[in-house]
Amino acid sequence: MAVPIDLATPSGRRRARYDLTWGDHGFLRARFRNLHRISDEMYRANQPSPEQIARYANELGLKTIINLRGQSPKGYYLLEKEACEANGVALVDFQVFSRDSPTKDAVLAARDLFDSIAYPALMHCKSGADRAGLMAVLYMHFRQKLPVDQALRQLSVKYLHIREGKTGMLDYFFETYLREGEPKGLTFTDWVKREYDREAVKAEFMRTWKSKLAIDKLLRRE
């Protein structure tokens, strides 16, 4: 069983830094932050370092950071939590997933979250591509009142999101609403509450995704 990291000790702090830099691939994010301003009050990015959090708090005036990875005993999270406390930034842990269709509760909780936090705010996952993209779509729809088809632009290669892989399940979730719910006159919220079948959407995506994958493999062999 791993010994918990204690930031109060020099060895613990070294372990946390090592985990952030190497275990969590922080060295790749030292120069590329995948930072984007998506509205006058919201930013999205990849996992920030303590130094980046201090810079964001100072330069962007951040009041809230939404961590989409969830709580963790690992060094990257402990250092983020410490940096937020040191810079007067509220850290909100709101876990979502990049290779699964979101739950009804998560979608509705995201709606409520965006109306309850202090702004300016930044939301992040590890790379800033998929989980941040999912939440950015929900933010643009619920908070900024964009139609889903326009909000869906937040799931884009511009932010390093790749829909051809299993992370395409996120696109498929919203596209299912556009294909099945919107033509019935249902709002996105009503569709999620009344008709969204998470397991069915997930199963249908995997079926179509595996079919496409099989075709791609066949074409490559030829």
CATH number assigned to the domain with residue range 31-221, chosen from the 4 options 3.40.50.10540, 3.40.50.880, 3.30.390.10, 3.90.190.10: 3.90.190.10
* pTM check: above 0.75: yes
User: What is residue 119's predicted lDDT score, i.e. its pLDDT?
Assistant: 98
CB 147 within 8 A of CB 141: yes
> CA distances (Å), 214 to each of 6, 38, 165, 208, 222, in order?
48, 37, 13, 10, 13
pLDDT digits (tens, 9 = 90+) for 155-189: 999 999 999 889 999 999 999 999 999 999 999 99
User: What is residue 3's predicted lDDT score, i.e. its pLDDT?
Assistant: 86
How far is C-alpha 126 from the geometric centre of its chain's CA atoms? 8
Interatomic CA distance for residues 144 and 140, integer angstroms: 5
